[in-house]
Amino acid sequence: MLLKKLKLISAFTIMMVTALIITGCSDDDAEELHSACPLVLSTIPADDAVNVPLDQIISVTFNEDLRPETVNTETFKINGDNTLEGSVSYSEKTGFFTPTVDLLPFTIYTGTVTTGVKDTLGNALQENHIWSFTTIPEVTLTVAPEATGTVSGAGVFDNGSTVSIVATPNAGFEFINWTVDGVEVSTNANYQFEMSGNIALVANFDVANFTLSIISENGTVSQVPNQQSFADGTEVILTPTPDEGYEFSSWSGDANGNNNPLTIT
C-alpha cells in the first residue's frame, strides 16, 4: 500500500510541473509555446531620473530578441503634457524613441511599452512597462526695454545647482533690477541663485541719469534746463555772471576754456 501511494504522489507532481511550464506566457501567438517571456531589463533615462537632457533619445532594453515590427509608435510611447511625437527604431534587443523636437524643460515624462511587444517566437510582454523621468530645468533671460542692454548666463542647469547671470547696460542706459513675473529678485547686475525649476528673468534698464555739480567763486552760474539730473545726451547751457568788481575768467574741472555761455552734453 505504501508503494502505490508514493507512485501516485510522484505522478501528480510531474503533471503539475508540466502544466506550469506550458502556461508560462499568455497573450501570445507563438506556434510553439516558449517558457521565456519578453522582459524590460533597463530604460534610458531610468525610472525617476532627473535633470534629463532636452535632446535625450529614450531607449528600452529587453532580455531577448524581439520581432522588430512589434516595436513601434503604438507599443512604445512617451507622454508629457501631451503625447510626444517621435520615431521608433529597434536594434539588438533595444528599442529607441527619438523625439521629433527637444523635450520641454523641467517636465515629467512617462514612458510606456505595451503588451503589443513580442519576441521572435510570438511571446508577448506580460504587462505594460511604465516609468517616468524629469527633464533638466532652464533659465531664460530677456531685456526690457529692448536694445537697452545685454544679458548672459541663460541655459539649462541641474536642479539645485548655482547659476550666475550678468546684465550689462548699453551706452546711455543703466541697470535697474532683475524681476520674475514683475517681482524684483535682485538689484545686482551680477546675480547668483540656486536652480529650483524653470525660471524666466527680465533684466530691466533705464536711461542713465547724470548730475551736474557747479562750484563758482565770486559769481553765479545759471543753467538751462534748470534741474538736478539729466539723461544721457541732454544739452545744458551754462551762463556765468560775475559779482560786481569781477569778470569771468575760465572754466575748470570737467569743462575748460572761457566760452560764455558754455554748452555741455
pLDDT, averaged per 10 consecutive residues of the chain (265 residues), comes to 41 38 54 72 98 99 98 98 96 98 98 98 98 99 98 98 98 97 98 98 94 84 84 84 85 85 88
Q: Are 60 and 40 in contact (CB under 8 A)?
A: yes
Question: How many helices and strands, by DSSP H and E, does the chain display?
Answer: 1, 21
Predicted model pTM: 0.74
Closest by CA to 89, choosing from 57, 63, 116, 118, is 57
Report the distance separating Cα 84 and Cα 4, nearest Å: 65
Confidence at residue 27, expressed as pLDDT on a 0 to 100 scale: 58
Closest by CA to 29, choosing from 142, 140, 124, 135, is 124
Helix (H) or strand (E) holding 150: strand 149-152
Q: Which fold has domain 37-135?
A: Immunoglobulin-like (2.60.40)
Domain ranges within the chain, ordered by starting residue: 37-135, 138-207, 210-264
State the DSSP string of 27-96: S---SS--SPPP-EEEEESPTTEEEE-TTPPEEEEESS-B-GGGSSTTTEEEESSSBPPEEEEEETTEEE
**Which cell is 121 given?**
517566437
Q: Which residue has the cell 508514493?
A: 6
Confidence at residue 153, expressed as pLDDT on a 0 to 100 scale: 98
Q: Are 197 and 220 in contact (CB under 8 A)?
A: no
Number of Cα atoms under 13 Å in the Cβ half of residue 202: 13
Q: Which residue has the cell 538751462?
A: 224
Report the distance separating Cα 52 and Cα 161, nearest Å: 14
